[in-house]
Amino acid sequence: MKNLNIEYLKYDNTKFKFKELLKNFYGCDLTQIHKKFNIGQQSYDVTAGIDSLSIVEDTYKNVINSEIFQDVWLSFINSVIKLYFKNDKILIQKLPSINIIPSGCEIKYVHKIVDGMNLHLDCHQPFYHPMFEENFWLPMTETDELNDLYYLNNTKKIRVDAKLDEIFRFGNDVVHGNIVKNNSKNTRISLDFKALLVSDYDENLISDRIIIKRGSEYKQNEWYSTKHYYMEH
């Protein structure tokens, strides 16, 4: 049987202080932001690719887009991600995505929920990511079995259980997702992004099919290019 395309990479999470920058913004323990910001037990459907959680938009605007965060991001790419790709030329998301799953909330990412989980492949609806990308997922909060990311090994669901100084890297052929309702007492926050070797970019694997990103229509091969999504590094 083919081995699953996953691995855990270590990084210095005090030097690359994503977590600290988030904590400074919220002014509280990251697992407890649902209390501080009074996020009640709500259901969100984000299958159309538009973030309907205002805290995600606020964090993106005020933290991820800030100059200091971008500095940390660039040095993280240069020291950690480039090393993973053996210093060859890469394409990488311009800035990472942030995912916030407040305690008590239900967040639906995919159209078909299986066993209460958002299990999916990123190449499928609604993401339509190219198969040649690699996924990098970094927990910003400690996770537990109720709010963690899971992946499928055959039909078995396995908890990612990455530590705060780890990056879970997985191929686009790995089915993954979290439990739709976060029944943990803790909010889960994670960063994630895609990257690939420039030499792995294959225009035969993408097309001009229309995809919806942040509420607008794009051709898949235009969105997943340096015009919108990636930067070359």
Q: How far apart are CA 42 and CA 55, in angstroms?
A: 13
Burial 119-147 (b: 16+ CB within 10 A, else e): bbbbeeeeebbbebbbbbbbbbbebbeeb
Six-digit token string for 220 = 């898949």
99-138: contacts with Fe ion (CB under 5 A): 122
Six-digit token string for 213 = 């990103």
- Give the nearer residue to Fe ion in terms of CB position, either 26 or 178: 178
In the complex, least distance from residue 32 CB atom to Fe ion, rounded to whole angstroms: 25
138-197: contacts with Fe ion (CB under 5 A): none
Size of the site for Fe ion (CB under 5 A): 1
Six-digit token string for 138 = 């970094």
In the complex, least distance from residue 178 CB atom to Fe ion, rounded to whole angstroms: 9
Q: How far apart are CA 86 and CA 90, in angstroms?
A: 10
In the complex, least distance from residue 50 CB atom to Fe ion, rounded to whole angstroms: 16
In the complex, least distance from residue 20 CB atom to Fe ion, rounded to whole angstroms: 26
In the complex, least distance from residue 188 CB atom to Fe ion, rounded to whole angstroms: 14
- Give the nearer residue to Fe ion in terms of CB position, either 21 or 53: 53
In the complex, least distance from residue 152 CB atom to Fe ion, rounded to whole angstroms: 12
Contact of 231 with 77, CB cutoff 8 Å: no
Contact of 71 with 15, CB cutoff 8 Å: no
- Give the nearer residue to Fe ion in terms of CB position, either 51 or 122: 122
Q: How far apart are CA 55 and CA 62, in angstroms?
A: 10
- Give the nearer residue to Fe ion in terms of CB position, either 26 or 224: 224
3-state secondary structure of 231: strand
33-52: contacts with Fe ion (CB under 5 A): none
- Give the nearer residue to Fe ion in terms of CB position, either 26 or 172: 172
Taking CB atoms, the residue at the shortest distance from Fe ion is 122
Six-digit token string for 24 = 């400074």
- Give the nearer residue to Fe ion in terms of CB position, either 72 or 174: 174
Q: Which residues sit at the interface with Fe ion, rule CB under 5 A?
A: 122
